[in-house]
Chains A and B, each alone.
Chain A
């Protein structure tokens, strides 16, 4: 790339990778993972998975979620999903940036976490181009527009 026009001719997208590990002592959780409108996984999660999508639009808003249902609560045994890794391109959100996720669940527990122990939805919403958003949430200073 030698000049600005070369840059405009190039095509770039965002890669999303998520790694999940289920906790199944009290039953297998039902899990749905979505990135924008695309479903990456839907069904019973009975073993660790690594899910990847490589063509997220560089400039479009993003909505990524992990939904858990069908958990039956037990006092001594657990069903859960652990988000081991959540990466957009090279940026890893776990564990340092879990406060950026919204966790809506049937126990109204909104503590930042990557341990999803309730029926509910753990989601990340980015309302502008990812790298503009990342600039601000990582404290990179001004963004002149």
Chain B
């Protein structure tokens, strides 16, 4: 692939600490990345500082990036771009002034060009520190979404163990350990280059580490220069956290919702649509009052893609962006491409009708997906990426029996039935063994 199709600047300013306290080089990196980068992904806050990991251990990532051979774990971004969905790579490029539509000139004009040159001449090392953090706070969560996993939801972990899907729940989250949290905060506030802290859970608002880190950053006098991003599952409200957030330079608020339709309750179990809707309206009002940037965060699966327009309708009405991290790949049986072709065609047509009914002025791809002035264009662009995926992704309907087996086990535990939420799926789900 051409350099402009593969290069990503993210390893020069971003890293992630995941729920186990291990470091990862990117918030978008695929979980099943290849081993070609020869990087030790087990590096953990228990064994080394984040700065050591960033400046030294990530050197091979930067080096391969400059050589035009990015790590295999970057594949999710390449897939998103194939389907015309704005990728993490494109977003990270934009943060250093590089646009994929005018790559060479904007890259040579980037304020980070000297840092790239430095790494080119020093086996990928860098003297920069982390500006853009993703902090995974652990799996402490009151939801058990069907597409989630025990590492990201304590409730789902408990349920999986009870019904025999896992032998043991994941070990304690790193930020439940006061010493590790203190060590992390110490390292964090030493770094004067921080621009962005993005938190995810579990559910951020019920995770004590979230408030502790916010307070520590405020106490260190850094808050006024830092943007905080976080995602909430629309089941919780916390005025105290809102008070803390108002002390930061900016807040990027993500609200997780799959559909403004009862199927949201099935997928984001044990959600209650009326509560979800009420809290959504409440958060939007607070965010607008404080001039925060707002996004609806979606994780479309084969169980919700047919109701995605309900989210787009709300977003359109309130001028909000809609975004997903990537196209869901895991669990495999919940991929959109698991739907039978005739169903994909129906849903693709419905989405296309929605797009046609919502004309926007669009002369270029929206990369800055947080730009409220282009929110409606971004929504339509997002919808178009799903139409493209529905029309072009490989057929994976052979995974339908796996989907049915999974749903049957969950439904036996939860006492619900997918057919009460998506009766139009009955035929092919029955054929697959439901």
* CA gap between A7 and B68 in the complex, in Å: 11
Contact status B67-A4, CB under 8 Å:
yes
Interface string of B86-122 (1 = CB under 8 A from A): 0000000011110100101111111110001100100
Does B388 have its Cβ within 8 Å of any Cβ on chain A?
no
- Chain A stretch 77-123: residues in CB contact (< 8 A) with chain B: 89-90
Q: Which of the listed residues A14, A131, A142, A144 has the most CB atoms from chain B within 10 Å of its own CB?
A: A144
* CA gap between A58 and B110 in the complex, in Å: 11
Which residues of the partner chain B approach A7 to less than 8 Å between Cβ atoms?
3, 104, 107-108
Contact status B97-A135, CB under 8 Å:
yes
Grouping DSSP codes into helix (H, G, I), strand (E, B) and loop, the A interface class, with mixed when no group exceeds half, is loop
* CA gap between A4 and B64 in the complex, in Å: 10
Closest A residue to B109 by CB, please name it.
A131
Does B66 have its Cβ within 8 Å of any Cβ on chain A?
yes
Interface string of B397-414 (1 = CB under 8 A from A): 000000000000000000
Which residues of the partner chain A approach B97 to less than 8 Å between Cβ atoms?
131-132, 135, 140, 143
- Residue in B3, B105, B106, B196 whose beta carbon sits within 8 Å of that of A3 in the complex: B3
CB distance from A15 to the nearest CB of B (A): 11
Which residues of the partner chain B approach A89 to less than 8 Å between Cβ atoms?
102, 105
Does B7 have its Cβ within 8 Å of any Cβ on chain A?
yes
Interface string of B192-213 (1 = CB under 8 A from A): 0001100000000000000000
Contact status B95-A1, CB under 8 Å:
no
Contact status B67-A145, CB under 8 Å:
no
Contact status B370-A58, CB under 8 Å:
no
Does B2 have its Cβ within 8 Å of any Cβ on chain A?
yes
Contact status B108-A2, CB under 8 Å:
no
Which residues of the partner chain A approach B66 to less than 8 Å between Cβ atoms?
3-5
CB distance from B225 to the nearest CB of A (A): 12
Which residues of the partner chain B approach A145 to less than 8 Å between Cβ atoms?
111-112
Contact status B95-A129, CB under 8 Å:
no
Which residues of the partner chain A approach B106 to less than 8 Å between Cβ atoms?
131, 135
Contact status B105-A131, CB under 8 Å:
yes
Which residues of the partner chain B approach A4 to less than 8 Å between Cβ atoms?
3, 7, 66-68, 116, 120
Closest A residue to B68 by CB, please name it.
A3
* CA gap between A145 and B12 in the complex, in Å: 11
* CA gap between A7 and B108 in the complex, in Å: 8
Interface string of A2-13 (1 = CB under 8 A from B): 111111101010
- Chain B stretch 4-38: residues in CB contact (< 8 A) with chain A: 4, 7, 13
Q: Which of the listed residues A7, A139, A140 has the most CB atoms from chain B within 10 Å of its own CB?
A: A7
* CA gap between A3 and B62 in the complex, in Å: 12
Contact A1 B104, CB 8 Å, known A58-B109, A135-B97: yes
Q: How large is the interface on B (under 10, 10 to 19, 20 to 34, 35 or more residues)?
A: 35 or more
Contact status B109-A2, CB under 8 Å:
no
Contact A1 B3, CB 8 Å, known A135-B97, A141-B370: yes
Does A130 have its Cβ within 8 Å of any Cβ on chain B?
yes
Does A59 have its Cβ within 8 Å of any Cβ on chain B?
yes
CB distance from B190 to the nearest CB of A (A): 19
Does B373 have its Cβ within 8 Å of any Cβ on chain A?
yes
Does B131 have its Cβ within 8 Å of any Cβ on chain A?
yes
Contact status B104-A12, CB under 8 Å:
yes
Which residues of the partner chain A approach B40 to less than 8 Å between Cβ atoms?
none
Does B176 have its Cβ within 8 Å of any Cβ on chain A?
no
Contact A5 B104, CB 8 Å, known A141-B368, A144-B96, A144-B195: no
* CA gap between A143 and B117 in the complex, in Å: 18
* CA gap between A12 and B131 in the complex, in Å: 29
Does B371 have its Cβ within 8 Å of any Cβ on chain A?
yes
Which residues of the partner chain B approach A141 to less than 8 Å between Cβ atoms?
94-95, 368, 370-371
* CA gap between A8 and B117 in the complex, in Å: 9
Contact status B108-A12, CB under 8 Å:
yes
CB distance from B307 to the nearest CB of A (A): 31
* CA gap between A139 and B138 in the complex, in Å: 34
* CA gap between A10 and B107 in the complex, in Å: 12
* CA gap between A1 and B7 in the complex, in Å: 11
Which residues of the partner chain B approach A131 to less than 8 Å between Cβ atoms?
97, 102, 105-106, 109
15 extra interface residue pairs, beta carbon distance < 8 Å, beyond A1-B3, A132-B109: A1-B4, A4-B66, A4-B68, A5-B66, A7-B3, A7-B107, A7-B108, A12-B104, A89-B102, A140-B99, A141-B94, A141-B370, A144-B111, A144-B112, A145-B112
In the A-B complex, list the 7 residue pairs whose CB atoms are closest, starting with the nearest.
A145-B111, A131-B109, A4-B66, A3-B68, A129-B109, A141-B368, A135-B97
Show 13 A/B contacts (Cβ-Cβ < 8 Å), sorted by A.
A3-B66, A4-B3, A4-B7, A12-B104, A14-B105, A59-B108, A89-B102, A140-B94, A141-B94, A141-B95, A141-B368, A142-B196, A144-B13
Interface residues of A (CB under 8 A from B): 1-8, 10, 12, 14, 58-59, 89-90, 129-132, 135, 139-145
Interface residues of B (CB under 8 A from A): 2-4, 7, 13, 66-68, 94-97, 99, 102, 104-112, 116-117, 120, 131-132, 195-196, 367-368, 370-371, 373
